[in-house]
Amino acid sequence: MLPLAMTSALAILTSVVTLAAPPDAARIASDIAELSSDAMNGRAFHSADGVRAAEWVAAKLAQTGAKPLDGRDSMLVPIARDPKASPNVVAWIAPRGKAPTGEYILVTAHYDHLPNARSGDDRIYNGADDNASGTCGMIAVAETLRDIELNVGVVFVGFTGEEAGMIGSRAFIEEETLPIARIRADFNMDMISRTDDAAIRLDGGPQGKVLVDLLVRLAPQVMLDMKVDTHLDWLQRSDQGAFLSAGIPAVLFSCEDHVDYHKVSDHADKTDSVLAAKTAALVALAVPAFAAEMSPRFDTTPLKVDALETQARTLRVGRTREFAPFWIAPKRRSKDRGFDGDFCTELGKRLGWKLEEKSVAVGDEVRALEQGEVDVIVNGFFATPKRGAEFALTAPYLTSDGIGALVKRDSELTSVTLDGKKLGLSNDEVAAAWQAQFAPGATVIALNGPAGAAATMIENGELDAVITDFASASARAQRDKSFRALLLQATPIVCALRSHDSDIAARISAEIAAMESDGTLATSRGKYALAPTHRVIGQDKGRVIILSAQGNIEWEVPCNHNSHDLAVLGNGNVLLHRAANEIVEMTPEKKIVWQWKSTAVAPYTGSVEIHGFQRLGDGSTMIAETGNLRIIEVDAAGTITRSVPITVDHPDAHRDTRRVRKTADNTYLVCHEGLGLVREYDATGKIVWEYALDLNNAPATGGHDGHGTCVFNALRLKNGNTLIAGGNNNRVMEVSADKKIVWSIERDELKRADGRPIHLCWVTSLQVLANGNIIVGNTHAGPDQPQMFEVTRDKRVVWELNDWNAFGNDLCTGWCMDLTGEVIR
């Protein structure tokens, strides 16, 4: 029998529920001896012995008063995908409360063990501790709770095939023996009767925390010592793993592996039935306690900050279990919880709120939120204007590939030439929003199936493209090389709450901002290979190409001139070099609609080159002409409307300038490569500011990996400072109006994800993103260095371009095309 104190502890709850006698250690010992006897012959799951053990467990559960699930004649539930396996044993105590919720709390254990050894005097693996002890503990809980009156059903499951890879528990989830959304918790016992320190191990990890906290609170009432979360690596080693993977809070009760673990010597006389009885008693206490405390399945009442902060209210989080990297457990035995899982853990920690994660299928998010099954969706949820009007959305915590198009591989269609075409539109709100905004003139055919099902319509010419999520289009293109996928729009991923919970959304948004600022989200993105990816246009290897974020060449034209400037215009056209002294505006269909060719202006008779150009807000084009030593503005008709002289002490038609940009103040920032100067000119050619690069305490050296003051690029920032790409000065500098360096990236200062430094060589392109990040071109650095990278203001590298098939070592004009918000470039 249990100590008197344990009996009294169980009586504490009688004001809430009525409990039968507490678990009897002697009876548990007798059951362990019977289930692990030689007569059971090891209980291997692919054997008649396993079936006999299942029948034994079912009979014992029937003696407690538990019944087969409604609609079933037997507690024995076959494994559909493995008919030769012994069955799961499933019984329950139906809800007897006044307001049944239709939900379930599970108490589980695996009853199987191992087939006979091939040799030896004793060939039977009896498996007394592993896991006759857990199975008999489960039966004892059923006996203790036989008269319980709860509003939830208490389900007892003896799993088969745990030793073969959690066959039974995975089948229970995959075949939905019970509706997954209605399972609120799983208490799993696996090896609960062998320990050297009289302490049970309790592991639940972040997802099982709601149960762990409860059990820690109740354990003193049964005088049970516990070691908590000492083996998070065990969470996928027993049957609770299947529930955790489905987004269901679950815990494991277990002991350390002992000298008889998985040996024929794991006999009943070595087990501690009192430890097993205490563990069963704790579970018997926890089931009604959790039933009383758990949040209702459906609750649409507004969330209150004070209730969340005091943990009087649990924040129910809806997550997917269907696709990486957002799923809950990417692989068996993995400690990783997926990107969204890590995000939820960190969010709960920072807010100090109690979070309960629930499984929500992709596509079922809106229903689950509207009906109050969850309070917040953290599920790869795309932000759209329609959703913004219907829900309270947080700030984005990730940018997804979002919307894509499936087109024929030999098609010349691009993301900007789909308007007016015949488009199949998947049943996707985000795809519809993209079409309405960017292809309003398209002929639209609604599709009920996935993008791949409409592929034959593209082949037959009935459709030009299918608009769907990019992942679906990309997957089809990978399977069938006659198609390719276009990335149309990167889409922010947000958390969604009911509209009346906007104050909670604001709190979560503030924590997302903090996680962005301190690098937490960037670290997690890197862990799951979710660092930002960009769609890049650039000139190298004798061509200008558009490279998709997934590494596919979407568009290509010849360009044998090693360009120092390039621009994608607001109308989708590209402004690019055709020769050293000639630039053209080209449509996505590769039609030239405007061009300019610079020639020598008397008295100058030498060569002229164009190294910097810019389409201005009035539609004219600013062009910097070396040799002629001037900046001109040319209108659409080819007329020069302004000419601004520039000053060069020692003219060189190739090195007079590099990038030139007109500022918001109608001045011109000119990078004089040969002089090592950034000069600002007004409209008359007067120098109003200049900055001279220095050698930064390093000797001048030649070559592409050398060091000097050959400045390449400069941008005027909103704060009035100037951001300079130093060319072979091998650094990026932010310089104030009074010529002080207030921020810089030095050569070899930045570290890649694996700890290697980024070796800056010829620093060229610059783009300043709306979030403050900076995209930098790193030219001539060689194949072991990134050609471009994105860096935060606190110098964390969050993206790299390392595509040496698409581009080579001379990429001076890389531009990221998928940036949102105001970008300085």
Nearest to 672 by CA among 694, 656, 654, 685: 656
Segment among 95-99, 359-363, 639-643, 728-732 with least mean pLDDT: 359-363
Instruction: Determine the pLDDT at residue 322.
Output: 62
Q: CA–CA separation, 197 vs 635, rounded Å?
A: 86
User: Does residue 665 surpass a pLDDT of 50?
Assistant: yes
Mean pLDDT of all residues in 359-381: 86
> Mapping DSSP to helix (H, G, I), strand (E, B) and coil, where does residue 771 land?
coil
H helix runs in 409-519, sequence order: 429-438, 455-459, 470-479, 502-517
Query: Pairing between strand 621-625 and 315-319?
Result: unpaired
Considering the entire predicted model, what is its pTM? 0.56
777's enclosing H/E stretch is strand 774-779
| Band of residue 404 on the pLDDT scale cut at 50, 70, 90 | confident
Q: Cα dist. 329→233, 235, 267, 323 in Å?
A: 12, 10, 34, 10
CA dist 512 and 500 (Å) reads: 20
- What DSSP letter does each residue of 254-287 carry, written as one string? E----TTTTSTT--GGG--HHHHHHHHHHHHHHH
pLDDT recorded at residue 245: 82
Residue 548 above 90 pLDDT?
no
- Whether the Cβ atoms of residue 418 and residue 464 lie closer than 8 Å to each other: yes
pLDDT 10s digits, 493-508 = 899 999 999 999 999 9
pLDDT tens track for 519-547: 788 778 767 766 567 889 999 999 999 98
CA dihedral 418, 424, 430, 432 (to 10 degrees): 80
DSSP letter assigned to residue 419: T
Q: Report pLDDT for 519.
A: 75
Q: Band of the pLDDT at 474, cuts 50, 70, 90? A: confident
Is 336's pLDDT higher than 70?
no
| Average pLDDT estimate for 659-680 | 97
Is residue 799 predicted with pLDDT exceeding 70? yes
Which single residue is written with the structure tokens 């001045």?
A: 667
* CA–CA distances in Å: residue 208 to residues 181, 220, 241, 369, 457: 16, 20, 11, 22, 48
The set of residues, in sequence order, having a beta carbon less than 8 Å from that of 245 and lying 6+ positions away, is 173, 236, 321, 327, 328, 329
Q: What pLDDT sits at residue 472?
A: 75
User: Which of 326-335, 410-419, 458-467, 620-629 ranks highest by mean pLDDT?
Assistant: 620-629
How far apart (Å, rounded) are the C-alpha atoms in residues 706 and 711? 13
Contact between 283 and 137 (Cβ < 8 Å): yes
Beta bridge partners of 744: 733
Mean pLDDT of the chain: 89
pLDDT in tens, 195-223: 989 899 999 987 888 899 999 999 999 99
pLDDT in tens, 230-273: 887 788 889 999 998 887 899 999 999 999 999 999 999 999 99
Segments of 635-721 assigned E as strands:
640-645, 660-662, 668-672, 677-681, 687-692, 713-716
Weakest mean pLDDT among 319-323, 439-443, 744-748: 319-323
Residues 6+ apart with CB under 8 A from 380: 320, 323, 326, 340, 362, 400, 493
Domains of the chain from N-terminus onward: 4-292 (3.40.630.10), 299-530 (3.40.190.10)
Contact partners, residue 697, CB within 8 Å, separation at least 6 = none
What does the pLDDT read at residue 7? Answer: 38
% of the chain residues with pLDDT over 70? 92
Identity of the amino acid at 543? R
787: nearest Cα among 766, 769, 805, 814: 814
Binned at pLDDT 50, 70 and 90, residue 49 comes out as very high
Confidence of residue 550 (pLDDT cuts 50, 70, 90): low
**Cα 266 to Cα 42, 45, 110, 131, distances in angstroms:** 11, 18, 16, 10
∠ Cα 731 736 740 (to 5°): 70
User: Computed over its alpha carbons, how large is the radius of gyration of the chain?
Assistant: 34
Strands 422-425 and 443-446: parallel
**Predicted confidence band of residue 427 (pLDDT cuts 50, 70, 90):** low
Q: State both tokens at 226.
A: 């516990």
Residue 583 or 821, more confident: 583
Pairing of the two strands 610-615 and 592-597: unpaired
Using pLDDT thresholds of 50, 70 and 90, give the confidence band for residue 553.
confident
At 128, list the tokens. Answer: 């007394």
Which ranges in 74-153 belong to alpha helices (H)? Answer: 134-144
The pLDDT tens digits of the residues spanning 118-148 come to 998 899 999 999 999 999 999 999 999 999 9
Confidence category of residue 417, pLDDT binned at 50, 70, 90: confident
The string of pLDDT tens digits covering residues 2-32 is 333 333 344 333 334 435 578 999 999 999 9
Q: What is the pLDDT of residues 731-766, one digit of tens each?
A: 999 999 999 999 999 999 998 765 779 999 999 999
Q: How far apart are CA 515 and CA 521, in angstroms?
A: 6
